[in-house]
Chains A and B, each alone.
Chain A
Amino acid sequence: MKIATKHFGEVEIDESKIINFDKGIFGFNDEKQFVLLYEDEKETNGLCWMQSMMTEDLALPMVNPMFWFPDYSPEVADEQVAKIGELEENDLNVFTVVVITENLETMTTNLKAPILVNIKTKKGMQVIVENKDYQIKHNLYEQMKSMKAGE
């Protein structure tokens, strides 16, 4: 099926790639279906867009926190994660939402509320993690700069 997207124009979507969010995401409770669109699918460090199937204008930029924050270990109750189905290690994809500002240096990512996707069940959810020191606005630019410097 074809859908209109915010950043990639009209895109052909394989229906098996649609992720179902039974409760939507915070602030967008009525948005139940998204698809992940990658700037470059081969790059694990790259930018990924969570595009709404329903609303062309709704696309959230996300990054893979496991790449940029190697120590990232979100704590969520198993009973909550169970809502997206039983998880094997390789079935879980974790993303954090990025606020991209005009000045890159002030760009932040939300480590407090990651997006979890079970790629086997095609179900996703946004959770608020229990980790007390994880910030809603964590400066991403500084982190990317120091990670790139360490490459």
Chain B
Amino acid sequence: MLALSRKLGESIVINDDIVITVLDISKDQIKIGIEAPRSIPVYREEVYLQIQEENKAAMTANDKGVDDLKKFLK
């Protein structure tokens, strides 16, 4: 992983069209500003990972649950 040191207010430019700026620094948290084209999705990692896990959980649908659901929907 590339590691760059930045001070408050300084930025990193990625690929000509993405700018990441350190907006605020406190004891154990920093606030990051991201300027990117709207076509580029930007996610918090934990949300992204949770949705991956959710798709995987959906894939292992419980057989009894599926039958019960079909009956319930009739």
Query: What are 21 A-B interface contacts by the 8 Å CB criterion?
Result: A25-B55, A27-B52, A59-B59, A60-B59, A61-B61, A79-B39, A80-B41, A97-B55, A98-B58, A98-B61, A100-B58, A100-B62, A101-B62, A103-B65, A110-B51, A112-B51, A126-B55, A128-B43, A128-B51, A136-B47, A136-B50
**B39 → chain A, closest Cβ, in Å?**
4
From A8-16, A39-47, A86-94, A116-124, give the one contacting chain B: A39-47
Number of chain B residues close to chain A: CB under 8 A: 27
Q: Collect the chain A residues with CB atoms within 8 Å of residue B41's CB.
A: 80, 127-128
CB contacts under 8 Å to B, within A19-67, are 25-28, 39, 43, 45-47, 57-61
Report the separation of the CA atoms of residues A126 and B41 in the bound assembly, to the nearest whole angstrom: 11
Are A47 and B65 in contact, CB atoms less than 8 angstroms apart? no
Number of chain A residues close to chain B: CB under 8 A: 39
A149 lies within 8 A of chain B by Cβ: no
From B3-11, B16-24, B66-74, give the one contacting chain A: B66-74
Are A107 and B54 in contact, CB atoms less than 8 angstroms apart? no
| A39: nearest chain-B partner, CB-CB | B70
Q: Collect the chain A residues with CB atoms within 8 Å of residue B53's CB.
A: 27
